[in-house]
Structure 1
């Protein structure tokens, strides 16, 4: 299965709270998405990450768009339970300001 956070991505992503106050000027380092079931069409743009807790912060686009926290550990658990990638990392994504994807 695909790694949701590579060592390179982990190293270049600011830790939680490091971009506090930047709002949609913060840089999205990664994009996650789902094409499956109730999560189909959802997207998560990670701007901050804590490798110890596997918690991330960024823009969540689902029923509405909002800044918030999401768990990459939960994403990995979902993928393992399903036996396939329910949530994937967009390997073609280039980092950009959240304002460009909002």
Structure 2
């Protein structure tokens, strides 16, 4: 099984998270539950390596931006028959807030 966050993505996420000024980054990775309706677009990682920032869609029709713990995602992944996966083909074409705006309109992340 592939890691949820590869080393190249980790570097980009940390660089985004370490910027002094708040910016609206493009998501670096897309994680999803292949057996359910959950999706996460992650744009930043804090220096602790556990705190992520992104857009979460837990399948209830109300996606929202906020902080997510990588350790919690790994715990969720461990309870699933297949586990969470990283979308290897995902390439962000807009900023996180643009994805959030579209997700609020559609009731789910559309990537």
TM range (shorter): 0.7 to 0.9
How far, CA to CA, are the matches of 2:57 and 2:21 in structure 1? 19
Q: Do 1:16 and 1:57's aligned partners in 2 also have CA atoms closer than 8 Å?
A: no
Q: Which runs of 4+ in 1 moved over 4 A?
A: 16-19
- For structure 2, the 5+ residue unaligned runs are 104-111
Alignment-derived partner of residue 66 in structure 2: 68
CA distance in 1 between counterparts of 2:66 and 2:18 reads 11
Ranges in structure 1 where 5+ consecutive residues have no aligned partner: none
TM-score by length of 1: 0.74
User: Match for 1:91 among 60, 67, 88?
Assistant: 88
Higher relative contact order (CA 8 A, sep 6+): 1
- Contact 2:18/2:46 (8 A) holds in 1: yes
TM-score normalized by the length of structure 2: 0.69
Q: Please tell me whether residue 54 in structure 1 is matched to residue 59 in structure 2.
A: no
